[in-house]
Amino acid sequence: MNILILQASPRANGNTAWMAEEYKKTAEAAGHQVTLVNVSRKKIAGCLACEYCHNKGNGACIQKDDMQELYPLMAEAEVLVLAAPIYYFTLNAQIQAPIQRMYCVNAPAKVKKMALLMSSYSPGVYTGATAEYHDICNYWHAEDSGIVTAKIDEQKTDETKAKIQAIVSNL
């Protein structure tokens, strides 16, 4: 399968980045084609709600930023993995911008499955992000292949690695 991982942690060696890399290694070992993009290093603006995409743009966003690199990757992805830290009870802004900019195409054409990887320093802060993820899966008609969370004492552990391996096996 063609897998796209959008990793949104600004910390290059942080916990979310580690989770995304573990997913990538496991999926590649299983024979999948994987592209990992660190969206926190991209310049992606939020949606302007200008409706250009649904009028004159014929599905193309008026903004010409680094999201232009993601649109073709999203169009070919069969599996989309969102990897983001939790900032103040929700997915961080770096992952929100690319998610919301998909408005212009409505839904990625080939995405059939999704997964969510989240890290936080606190327990019990995942409810809002999990609800948003499930709403996206439902709207895009994508199967939820799994969610892995890792609070401070679960980060970069063999147990978390095993959880990631388990959701990859759901593909």
CB burial string 140-164: b at 16+ within 10 A, e below:
bebebbbbbbbbeebbeeeebbebb
Residues whose CB is less than 8 angstroms from the CB of residue 55 and which lie 6 or more positions away in sequence, other chains included: none
Q: What is the pLDDT of residue 127?
A: 96
Per-residue pLDDT tens digits for 74-107: 999 999 999 999 999 999 999 999 999 999 999 9
Q: What is the pLDDT of residue 170?
A: 86
Kindly report the backbone phi and psi dihedral angles of residue 147, in degrees, each rounded to the nearest multiple of 5, phi listed first. Answer: -125, 135
Q: What is the pLDDT of residue 134?
A: 98
CB-count exposure of residue 25 (10 Å: 0-12, 13-18, 19+):
middle
Per-residue pLDDT tens digits for 7-20: 999 998 999 999 99
Beta-sheet pairing, 33-38 with 79-87 = unpaired
Per-residue pLDDT tens digits for 122-152: 999 999 999 999 999 999 999 999 999 999 9
Rounded to the nearest integer, the mean pLDDT of the chain is 96
